[in-house]
Amino acid sequence: MPAGDNRAMDSTRKLGLDADTLLTTTRAVRRRLDFERPVPRDLVDACLELALQAPNGSNLNPWHWVAIDDPGTIEAAARIYREAIADQIARPAHAFRDASRVPGHERLMESSRYLAENLHRAPVLLLPLIDGRLEDADLFVSASLWASVVPAVWSFMLALRERGLGSAWTTVHLTREREMAGLLDVPAERYTQVGLFPVAWTRGTDFRPAWRAPLEQVRSWNVWRPGAGS
């Protein structure tokens, strides 16, 4: 078996990554998702069991997780996703932050296009939900609810990585949140959708740390001084 190839990996086997490697090489995976290999439900559930151990406000567990493996439902969700992308492309260019100078930007855009074109082939999609609506919430309530689900979602992605799977945190479909809610029978008046996550085995497991702005450009001590390194 070639180095980094996990096609023959048993679903219960782990990569054995140390914590630092796991944290620095868990990537948003798009082009290297293996859409041909089924993902068993018990493996998704095993990763979710770990995710549920993440900290959350007052231990209220304010989440629900809709895992989708029905091909017809995945096809419909992918169509909503692509239509949401078309909506965003039609928006004025000034509505977006310019990321063209970020190293690897073109590669990132290409991988995003690839995912949009192939999302319907994903063996599993995951839709995390927050129990509560945020439209009229103040900053404290909004931050508290997001802080009660984001750690769990990241834990899920870490658990996937350790088992040879990957995902990408996508949010574009949220512009059509009600349409997705209708597809999946989500009570839209109660739950807020967090994102849409394709889940698949990865082609190889040899991921590396990504480019990030140097710490001294984004960290200051005691007072806000961007780029000062103080």
Helix/strand/coil (H, E, C) string of 50-88? Answer: HHCCCCCHHHCCCEEEEEECCHHHHHHHHHHHHHHHHHH
d(CA 185, CA 194) in angstroms, rounded, equals 16
Q: Would 227 be classed as within a structural domain?
A: no
Q: From residue 193, how far is each of 108, 172, 184 by CA, in Å?
A: 24, 11, 11
d(CA 126, CA 180) in angstroms, rounded, equals 12
Rounded to 5°, the CA angle 15-19-24 comes to 90
CB count in 10 Å sphere of residue 225: 11
Q: Would 8 be classed as within a structural domain?
A: no
Q: Would 108 be classed as within a structural domain?
A: yes
Q: Would 171 be classed as within a structural domain?
A: yes
39: left (phi over 0), alpha (psi -120 to 50) or beta: beta
The residue segments making up the domain with residue 24 are 19-208
In the chain, the number of structural domains is 1
Q: Along the 230 residues of the chain, how does pLDDT read in single tens digits?
A: 334 444 444 556 899 999 999 999 999 999 999 999 999 999 999 999 999 999 999 999 999 999 999 999 999 999 999 999 999 888 776 455 566 666 766 777 888 899 999 999 999 999 999 999 999 999 999 999 999 999 999 999 999 999 999 999 999 999 999 999 999 999 999 999 999 999 999 999 999 999 899 999 999 999 998 775 54
Check: CB of residue 69 under 8 Å from CB of residue 77: no
Q: Would 35 be classed as within a structural domain?
A: yes
d(CA 151, CA 194) in angstroms, rounded, equals 12
Q: Would 139 be classed as within a structural domain?
A: yes
Q: Would 49 be classed as within a structural domain?
A: yes
Burial of 154-170, coded b for 16+ CB within 10 Å and e otherwise, reads ebbbbbbbbbbbbbbeb
CATH number of the domain at 65, please: 3.40.109.10
Q: Would 154 be classed as within a structural domain?
A: yes
| 155 token code pair | 């834990």
How confident is the model at residue 229, as a pLDDT? 52
